[in-house]
Amino acid sequence: MTDRSPDDPTRRAFLAAGATLLASSAVNADDPPLAPPDKQPPDLKLPDPPPKKLGWAVVGLGKLALEEVMPAFAACRQSRPTALVSGHPDKAKRVAAAYGVDPKKIYDYGNYDRIADDPAIDIVYIILPNSMHAEYTVRGLRAGKHVLCEKPMAVTAAECEQMIAAGKDAKRKLMVAYRLRYEPFNQAAIELCRKERAVGAIRTIAASNCQDVTAPNIRLSKALGGGPVEDIGIYCLNAARYLTGEEPAEVTAVAHRPKDDPRFREVPESVAFTLRFPSGVIANCDCSFAAAESRRYRVHGADGFVDMDPAFSYRGLRLSVLKGDRKSELKLTEVNHFAAEMDHFSECVAADRPPRTPGEEGLADVRVIEATAEAARTGRAVAVKR
C-alpha cells in the first residue's frame, strides 16, 4: 500500500466525511442517550426474591389429599409440605418420599399433639372425615399452629363455635377450605352479581350438585358426618350466600331415602332445599348421591342471567352472561384451586391478616345445614339461627 501525502485529495475527502459524521452524531444537552447507562434499560424490572414458603402438615392422606392437595403444592409460591399425619405408616412413608418430606416428620393420630414441638410446621390442613374436623382442628390450634379445615367445617354449629373459640384462645388463624372463593370464575360471578349488577336485581338462583357415589365411602356414613347436603349440597348453599352477599332467613327442604338401595341406610340419597333471603331472593338447590353428574348454578336477574356450568368442579369451569338477546362467555385463566387457597392462607399468616373464609364462614353454612335437616324432618319452614 502506498502512503498518501497530507495534501492527497482522496485523503482530504475521507477526513472531511469523518468530521461530518462526528458532527452529526454530537449529542445536544437535551437529547436523550441512545444507549442505556450501565447497559441496563431504564424500564428493566428485576425479579424480587421469592417469598418464604410456610411449612404445611397435611392431616389425613385420603383421596382428596393424594389426588388434589399434595400435587397442588407444585403450583404454590408460599406453601410447601413439611409434615404428614396419617394412621397408615406405610402409605405415609411412600407419600413422604414422593414429595420430599422428611420421614422423621410423619405423625399419627396418637402422637399428633407433638406437632407443637416441630418448628417446620406453620399450618395444618385438616382433610379428615367430617366427624373428625372439630377435634383435630382444636388440637392443632392448641399446638400453636394455624389451621385450614376442609368443609363442612364440622358436624354441628356448636363444634364450629368451639373451633372458633380455640383459635382466638391460641391466637392462631382458622380458615375453612372454600376453594371456589379463591379461583377466578366464581370470583368473577360475585363481581357480576353483587358489584356490577350485570343482570339487574337478583330474583332467583337455581343450583345443583349431583354425583353417583359407590359404597364404601365416608360420604355414606352418618357416624362420620356424611350426607349429600353436608358433602356436595354445601356448594350450592355457599354459592347462594356469596352470590347474594346475604344470609338466608329460612329454609324448606325435602329428602328422599329409597328403601331398596342399601347405600342409603344412614343418609338420604337426594335432598332438595329452598333458601329464602331477606331481600326476597329465593335459591332453589338440589343435591344427590345417586344421579348423573351435574355441578352448576344459574342466577336469574331482572335483566338476564349469569350461568356457571360446571360451577363446582376442580377444573374446566365455564361462566356466561345473557342480557337481553345477547349471550357472552367470559374467558378467564384457570388456576389450581387448592394451590390458590393454600397460598392465600400462607399470605394471611405471614402478613397477619384475616383470611377470606374464616371460621365464621363455615359456621354460617353449618347453621343452614342444621336448619335444612330439621326442615326435611318436620316438613316445615325453619328459621336459620344467627
Catalytic machinery residues: 151, 235
Q: CA neighbours within 13 Å on the CB side: how many for 23?
A: 6
Cβ neighbours, 10 Å, residue 250: 17
Which three cell numbers mark 330? 367470559
Phi, psi of 271 (to 5 degrees): -140, 130
* CA 285/CA 233 separation, integer angstroms: 8
Pairing between β-strand 326-330 and β-strand 319-323 as defined by DSSP bridges? antiparallel
Q: Shortest CA distance to 343 belongs to which of 61, 56, 100?
A: 56
Q: Shortest CA distance to 368 belongs to which of 282, 221, 253, 279?
A: 253
**9: which residues sit within 8 A by CB, 6+ positions away?**
none
Instruction: State the DSSP H helix or E strand holding residue 115, giving kind and residue range, or none if neither.
Output: none
Amino acid at the residue 342 = M
User: Is the separation of the CB atoms in 238 and 357 below 8 Å?
Assistant: no
User: Is the separation of the CB atoms in 196 and 304 below 8 Å?
Assistant: no
Q: CA neighbours within 13 Å on the CB side: how many for 166?
A: 23
Secondary structure (3-state) at 173? coil
Burial class (CB in 10 A: 0-12, 13-18, 19+), 128: buried
Scan for cell 368451639, then name that residue: 162
Which three cell numbers mark 386? 344467627
Alpha helices for 52-88 (secondary structure H): 63-64, 70-72
